[in-house]
Structure 1
């Protein structure tokens, strides 16, 4: 019998989330600025209006631009399922174009280092649950 909520391997799950979100800035550069989500003051992600939806699929075996656009949409959909607090932590850590240190992030949020890492861990797990219906979750 398959469990709806099997025990999650938090360490492996966070590693997968980190691997994906760490590529966010690269995806934005490949997709092009006009395809990057706009972030509102409540850290809601809005895909920019596009003239032709996605770039035309070319004859190349791998169309990096198209794949980057698709991935950005998936990340945006998952981020928007999170609450504002989680979105803000993940945005500051992985998505802000002004790359900053963890120390600067937890000082900005007026929290201790240990609380920052606890909160970031929880946000990463929730992101894993939201991304493509739990695709990033790793079971024990």
Structure 2
């Protein structure tokens, strides 16, 4: 077994994209109070308050709990990245304001091609960080 097997970058990026695209939905399901707070350095912080769910159906509680767990995993993986990668991924997938790619690369003062190259790198780094590489797809 190789320590660093060859990665199928296209499939890995698709898997990460699918997960991060669901981020806003996860926040809505878990409830706004369970959404990670973003600091000025783009560090994500989870609120540690434990709420008891009363008079809810078991299915709703399970769905909410699963969303909270997934948000914690995403937060942990994001915080392992450098500030630049966190900022790109936040602007693309997590900002409450749905921003176009054009607005994002203009905000970061980069060309369109550089934006996509940097975003691709950030997606792969996120895949490596998420649960010790659980999103990586080998060739």
Report the TM range for the smaller structure's normalisation.
over 0.9
How well do the aligned residues superpose, as a CA RMSD in angstroms? 1.8
Relative distance call for 1:112 and 1:8 in structure 2 (3 A) is same
TM-score, normalisation: structure 2: 0.94
Q: Whole-Å Cα distance in 2 between the matches of residues 97 and 61 of structure 1? A: 24
Q: Is the 8 A contact 2:77 2:126 kept in 1?
A: yes
Relative distance call for 1:35 and 1:62 in structure 2 (3 A) is closer
Q: How many residues align?
A: 138
2:43 — aligned with what? 44
Q: Whole-Å Cα distance in 1 between the matches of residues 86 and 60 of structure 2? A: 34
Within 5 Å, give how 1:9-88 maps onto structure 2.
9-52=8-51, 59-60=58-59, 63-88=62-87
Displaced runs of 4 or more, over 3 A: 54-62
Q: Is the 8 A contact 1:30 1:68 kept in 2?
A: yes
Per the TM alignment, residue 60 of structure 1 is displaced from its structure 2 partner at its CA by: 3.3
**Is 1:125 matched with 2:124?**
yes
Q: Is the 8 A contact 1:55 1:65 kept in 2?
A: no
Flag structure 1 segments of 5+ consecutive residues without an equivalent. Answer: none
Q: Whole-Å Cα distance in 2 between the matches of residues 62 and 36 of structure 1? A: 16
Q: Is the 8 A contact 1:37 1:46 kept in 2?
A: yes
Per the TM alignment, residue 62 of structure 1 is displaced from its structure 2 partner at its CA by: 7.5
TM-score, normalisation: structure 1: 0.93
**SS of the counterpart of 2:59?**
coil
Q: Is the 8 A contact 1:55 1:66 kept in 2?
A: no
Which has the larger helix fraction? 2
Per the TM alignment, residue 59 of structure 1 is displaced from its structure 2 partner at its CA by: 3.6
Per the TM alignment, residue 48 of structure 1 is displaced from its structure 2 partner at its CA by: 1.4
Superposed CA deviations along residues 32-90 of structure 1, whole A, max 9, x for unmatched, are 000000000000000013134x8589643971100000000000000000000000000
Q: Is the 8 A contact 2:53 2:61 kept in 1?
A: no
